[in-house]
């Protein structure tokens, strides 16, 4: 049986927050820790972003956002959230490029600054974005029929299962 929409969203956000809250410590290591200590931590952050966060974003865009747009009677009402998804994807790509540079050897100061900046920008943007998403989930929870909520929960749960 599929969990309810609030249960699914709480599970997703709890898991995302757990990984997200590790990112500032990774950012603090940049320039302070040896490259050999930094590489696995950056790798864990990149894996989290690619394997958990991106599938969550895609599922939200495909299932939750269209329903919210229908409810809010404005096709572009989710445009700010979609725009942030684009910015988040760009930052994840930049982090991936910097990870490749880090894997090749120690970072120069310019690269260290860029790595630290992208980690903290992602962290800050994602903290705000996930909080906003929780607000929208409250709107969905109270604004859709129980059948629609079950359908949305199942779609989100299936996307999450694929990520694991």
Is the pLDDT confidence value at 31 over 80?
yes
Alpha-carbon gap, residue 120 to 27, rounded angstroms? 6
pLDDT number for residue 164:
45
Residue 31 tokens read as 């320039």
CATH number of domain containing 110: 1.20.120
pLDDT number for residue 95:
98
pLDDT tier at 64 (50, 70, 90 boundaries)?
confident
Q: Do 162 and 26 contact (CB within 8 A), yes or no?
A: no
In the DSSP assignment, the letter for residue 4 is: P
Domains of the chain: total: 1
- Expressed as residue numbers, the domain containing 22 is 5-163
Residues in the chain: 164
What is the model's pTM? 0.88
């Amino acid at each position: 049986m599929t969990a309810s929409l609030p249960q699914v969203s709480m599970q997703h956000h709890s898991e995302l927050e757990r990984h997200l809250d590790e990112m500032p410590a990774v950012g603090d290591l940049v320039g302070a820790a040896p490259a050999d200590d930094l590489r696995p931590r950056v790798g864990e952050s990149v894996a989290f972003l690619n394997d958990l966060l991106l599938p969550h974003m895609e599922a939200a865009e495909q299932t939750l956002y269209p329903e919210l747009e229908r409810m809010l009677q404005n096709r572009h009402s989710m445009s700010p959230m979609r725009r942030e998804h684009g910015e988040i994807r760009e930052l994840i790509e930049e982090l991936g490029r910097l990870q490749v540079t880090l894997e090749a050897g120690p970072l120069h100061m310019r690269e260290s600054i860029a790595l630290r900046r992208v980690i903290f920008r992602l962290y800050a943007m994602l903290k705000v974005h996930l909080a906003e998403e929780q607000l929208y989930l409250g709107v969905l929870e109270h604004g859709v029929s129980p059948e629609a909520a079950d359908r949305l929960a199942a779609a989100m749960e299936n996307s999450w299962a694929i990520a694991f």
